[in-house]
Amino acid sequence: MRLDNKTVVITGAASGIGQATAERCAEEGARVIVTDIDTEGGQAVAEAIEEDGGEAEFHELDVTDSDRFRAVVDEVADAHGLDVMVNNAGTGHPGGSLEEIDEEMRDFVIDINIKGVWNGCDAALPHMKEQGSGAIVNVGSLASILGLPKQAAYSTSKAAVLNMTRTVAAEAGPYGVRANAVCPGFTETQMLEGYLEQQEDPEVAREEMAADYPLKRLGKPDEIADAILFLASDESSFVSGHGLVVDGGFSTC
């Protein structure tokens, strides 16, 4: 098993990519710490993992709360150690040009997508540096490398996640800590469903979106989880500071 006896903390793990990652890590032998602001959903994911024979526990967490983030990570590290930190929690916003996105929405996206990842790295790094090992995996986006139209705040935030990852890799590497990012294309998650529901015809919008991909389909949470698992495991022991694009070939077009 690729994560046998390792402790993995995952944010935004109540659904979508976070849930799929929690399940895959548990299958590979990890002790999974499920965190999310969605208490009911997060508890359900942890319970399902345990029912399947895995080891998991849930902690309620708003990633924008740095004090709470640090308290959760400290508690987990003291009890189990800390091997992998997956900063997955994120949010999007309704489509609109830069001047149409109001300050409140801009700050909401930045607080979760940038500060949330910052808080996760900040909480995990002291423990990982002290033990001389650890892997941080931040979830970026296709928007980390492309400026998506009508998505100024989201694109800005996800670009920041990728460069933050590179900085953490440079700073923490001498301590034996790796940091990488996964940059997914559009993936079948609740966030995507919310975006599609804003369109005049959601099903047509989905078909048009899929047609833009060389593989002619959208991504699945399990496929992104597999990429995260690779970067979390020792299989990527010499990979650090990298943004792994998992987008069905979209960025090649």
Active site residues: 154
SS (H, E, C) 207-230: HHHHHCCCCCCCECHHHHHHHHHH
Domain positions in the chain: 7-184+220-245, 188-218
Domain 7-184+220-245: which CATH number of 3.40.50.970, 3.40.50.1970, 3.40.50.720, 3.10.20.30: 3.40.50.720
Tell me the three state secondary structure of residue 83: coil
**pLDDT given at position 204:** 82
Structural tokens at position 13: 């793990």
AA letter at 206: R
Question: Tens of pLDDT along 148-188?
Answer: 888 899 999 999 999 999 999 999 999 999 999 999 988 88
State the average pLDDT over residues 186-202.
78
Distance, CA of 229 to CA of 28 (rounded, Å): 9
Model-level pTM? Answer: 0.95
pLDDT tens digits for range 28-81: 999 999 999 999 999 999 999 999 999 999 999 999 999 999 999 999 999 999
